[in-house]
Amino acid sequence: MRKKTKALSFFLLFFAAQALPASAQPVLQSVFHNGGVGKCTGCHTIHRAPSIANGTATQSGPYLLRGTDPGSTCLNCHQASNLPGPTAQYISTPDSEMPKGVPPKQMTPGGDFGWLKKSYTWMSGTTIETDPGYMHGHDIVAVDYGYAASPVMTVAPGGTFPASDLTCISCHDPHGEYRRTANGTIVSDALQNACASGSYDTSPDPTPNCPVGDYRLLGGIGYSQMGVDHTFAYGPPVAVAPSDYNRSEAMTQTRVAYGEGMSEWCANCHPAFLNSNPNTLSAYRHPSGNGAKLRFIARNYNMYIKTGDLSGTIATSYLSLVPFEEGTSNYDVLKTHAKTDNSYLTGPDANSNVMCLTCHRAHASGWDFNLRFGPVQQTFLTADPGGQPAWPGTDASGNASQAMGRTQAETSRAYYDYPASRFSPYQRSLCNKCHIQD
Query: Do 338 and 360 meet the contact criterion of CB atoms below 8 Å apart?
Result: no
Q: Confirm or reject binding of residue 222 to ligand HEC (CB under 6 A).
A: no
Of 33 and 408, nearer to ligand HEC (C-beta) is 33
Q: Which residues contact 61 (CB under 8 A, 6 or more apart)?
A: 67, 68, 69, 70, 72, 73
Binders of ligand HEC in range 173-192 (CB under 6 A): 174-175
Q: Confirm or reject binding of residue 369 to ligand HEC (CB under 6 A).
A: yes
Binders of ligand HEC in range 280-319 (CB under 6 A): 281, 286-288, 294-295, 297, 301
Neighbour tally for 58: CB within 10 Å: 11
Among 83, 98, 107, 140, binds ligand HEC (CB under 6 A): 140
Binders of ligand HEC in range 50-89 (CB under 6 A): 62-63, 65, 70-71, 73-78, 89
Of 186 and 356, nearer to ligand HEC (C-beta) is 356
Q: Confirm or reject binding of residue 161 to ligand HEC (CB under 6 A).
A: yes
Q: What count of Cα atoms within 13 Å lies in the side-chain half-sphere of residue 90?
A: 25
Among 80, 83, 267, 321, binds ligand HEC (CB under 6 A): 267
- What whole-number distance in Å separates Cα of residue 40 and Cα of residue 395? 48
Q: Confirm or reject binding of residue 242 to ligand HEC (CB under 6 A).
A: no
Query: Do 366 and 404 meet the contact criterion of CB atoms below 8 Å apart?
Result: no
Of 27 and 182, nearer to ligand HEC (C-beta) is 27
Q: Confirm or reject binding of residue 362 to ligand HEC (CB under 6 A).
A: yes
Binding segment for ligand HEC among 95-103, 267-275, 304-312, 333-341 (CB under 6 A)?
267-275
Query: Do 203 and 192 meet the contact criterion of CB atoms below 8 Å apart?
Result: no
Among 105, 118, 172, 339, binds ligand HEC (CB under 6 A): 172
Distance of CA 73 to the CA centre of its chain: 18
Q: Confirm or reject binding of residue 194 to ligand HEC (CB under 6 A).
A: no
Query: Do 416 and 107 meet the contact criterion of CB atoms below 8 Å apart?
Result: yes
- What whole-number distance in Å separates Cα of residue 49 and Cα of residue 56? 9
Q: Confirm or reject binding of residue 363 to ligand HEC (CB under 6 A).
A: yes
Report, in Å, the least distance between residue 332 CB and ligand HEC. 19
Of 67 and 408, nearer to ligand HEC (C-beta) is 67
Of 297 and 383, nearer to ligand HEC (C-beta) is 297
Of 91 and 400, nearer to ligand HEC (C-beta) is 91
Report, in Å, the least distance between residue 350 CB and ligand HEC. 10
Query: Do 142 and 67 meet the contact criterion of CB atoms below 8 Å apart?
Result: yes
Type of residue found at 308: G
Among 104, 110, 220, 389, binds ligand HEC (CB under 6 A): 110
Residue 79: name the closest of 97, 94, 57 by CA.
94
Q: Which residues contact 175 (CB under 8 A, 6 or more apart)?
A: 36, 37, 190
Phi/psi for 339 (5° steps) reads: -135, 155
Among 94, 103, 104, 109, binds ligand HEC (CB under 6 A): 109
